[in-house]
Copies of this chain bind each other. A is one copy, B any other.
Amino acid sequence: MSTLDSLSRRAALAAGQPISELMRQALAHPELISLAAGFVDQATLPVEATRAAFDEVFHDPRWAQAALQYGTPAGHLPLREAVLAALVENDGAAIAGQHLSVEQVLVTAGSNELLHLLVDTLCDPGDIVLVPEPTYFVFLGMLRNLGVRAIGVTADEQGLVPEALDEELARLAGTGELARVKALYVVSYFDNPSSVTLSEERRGPVVETIKRHSRHGTIRIIEDAAYRELRYGGPNPPSMRSFDAEGDTVVLTETFSKSFSPGIRVGWGFLPRDLVEPLSDQKGNIDFGSPNLSQHVMAAVMDKGLLRPHVEKLRDNYRKKLAATLAACEEHLRPIPGVHWSPPRGGLYVWLTLPDEIATGPGGTLFEHAVEEGVLYVPGEYSYAGQPHEARTNTIRMSFGVQSVERIRRGVEGLTRAIRRTLEQ
């Protein structure tokens, strides 16, 4: 009997996630230029701001002791107030007049913990979560781990298509499966992997479509706004949450992992009122409270006004990298017929579509050639639910956050050589 046979069903489902495979590849090939890792640029991480915030907390021994003590499952109140104020400011007129209480803010150890907590709380094994095609592959892995079925909905360059969502929900009603649909997941700004932002015009219709098909408010929208602050140009549409006037449908999740530091590990959510207690109860069982020291430091970062200037620095840095990535794509990839991408205006990714005959998957020729040419990428097929439509096998996610401008250029050159070699075979 192998160990896996003796473990839980969840443990069996946790094995073999793409993220583990990608990490193993990166470790096995440290010499390669990784356009795969979705990490933030280490050189931009806020050493001085963190130090200043830490000093603020530790200047007062009583405050420091409070930060070193257990916190509550809901999180540090001043931090919850600060993130709520930031949401209200960010959404402006679109959310003004809605009654938003700090009681509805839940702090977690990164937004990953919150996403897991949400799915675990909303879904039993066999339930359904709708996702755009493509979507965040780590989230798809989490759904698989929890035994939850992901079903894809068509998205285009303006994001999720409301009519396609409507049709899919009608189809599921027809097959008798509508009651198993518990959520729609959307990365609403600069999606991972496609970098698409759901257009402002579609936000209302998407929320309305879910409400219309939801019996007794049982279908929620999980709005993952992790990349909202990584905007290098273009508009900042109000959150999907702001279109949920009743406040009973959209769960907004955010994180400081992209806008400040992933190592400090602070995320947060704004919840419908009826989910506050169930999520807090579930969270208490799992983590007995998120790291309190990190929360106090983040509260001091916000209180001292250190977040906004840091975000501006980040934007300047990533804007240059994005420009370098797009310039390299124009120069090297544009001449190849059948290669397409949409220039993003934020986020950390460029989503490439290759000629249909190229399979980008981990066992395929292109991946092998890319490694030989010194480049790692994320195969796009990881980002598809695989039902009701098959995964597209000719796509690639390229990350531009981690590498220098020079290495991005060399990476795109290497990838281009790999594509040409694959086409020539």
Cα of A43 to Cα of B65 in the assembled complex, Å = 7
Interface residues of A in 59-85 (CB under 8 A from B): 61, 64-72
Cα of A43 to Cα of B66 in the assembled complex, Å = 9
Complex copy number for this chain: 2
Cα of A10 to Cα of B278 in the assembled complex, Å = 10
Asked whether A40 is an interface residue with its Cβ less than 8 Å from the other chain, the reply is yes
Interface residues of A in 120-147 (CB under 8 A from B): 120-124, 127, 138, 141-142, 145
The reply to whether A288 and B121 form a contact with Cβ atoms under 8 Å apart is no
The reply to whether A288 and B124 form a contact with Cβ atoms under 8 Å apart is no
The reply to whether A290 and B278 form a contact with Cβ atoms under 8 Å apart is no
Given known A42-B66, A65-B47, A120-B10, contact A145–B291 (CB-CB < 8 A): no
The reply to whether B9 and A287 form a contact with Cβ atoms under 8 Å apart is no
Closest to A121 in B: B11
Asked whether A292 is an interface residue with its Cβ less than 8 Å from the other chain, the reply is yes
Task: Identify A3's interface contact among B120, B274, B296, CB under 8 A.
Answer: B274
Dominant SS at the A interface? helix
Cα of A289 to Cα of B109 in the assembled complex, Å = 9
Give every chain B residue within 8 A of A112 (Cβ-Cβ). 286-288
Most chain-B Cβ atoms within 10 A of its Cβ — which of A123, A261, A293? A293
Give every chain B residue within 8 A of A45 (Cβ-Cβ). 64-65, 68-69
Cα of A346 to Cα of B393 in the assembled complex, Å = 60
The reply to whether B293 and A263 form a contact with Cβ atoms under 8 Å apart is yes
Contact with B along A1-44 (1 / 0, CB 8 A): 10110111111001111011001000000000000000110110
The reply to whether A14 and B47 form a contact with Cβ atoms under 8 Å apart is no
Closest to A61 in B: B47
Most chain-B Cβ atoms within 10 A of its Cβ — which of A70, A122, A274? A70
Task: Identify A10's interface contact among B66, B121, B274, B292, CB under 8 A.
Answer: B121
Interface footprint category on A: 35 or more
Given known A112-B287, A116-B285, contact A263–B121 (CB-CB < 8 A): no
Task: Identify A284's interface contact among B20, B182, B290, CB under 8 A.
Answer: B20
Task: Identify A294's interface contact among B122, B277, B294, CB under 8 A.
Answer: B294
Asked whether A51 is an interface residue with its Cβ less than 8 Å from the other chain, the reply is yes
Asked whether A218 is an interface residue with its Cβ less than 8 Å from the other chain, the reply is yes
Closest to A219 in B: B6
Smallest distance from the beta carbon of A371 to chain B beta carbons, Å? 22
Contact with B along A276-319 (1 / 0, CB 8 A): 01101110111111111110100000000000000000000000
The reply to whether B294 and A293 form a contact with Cβ atoms under 8 Å apart is yes
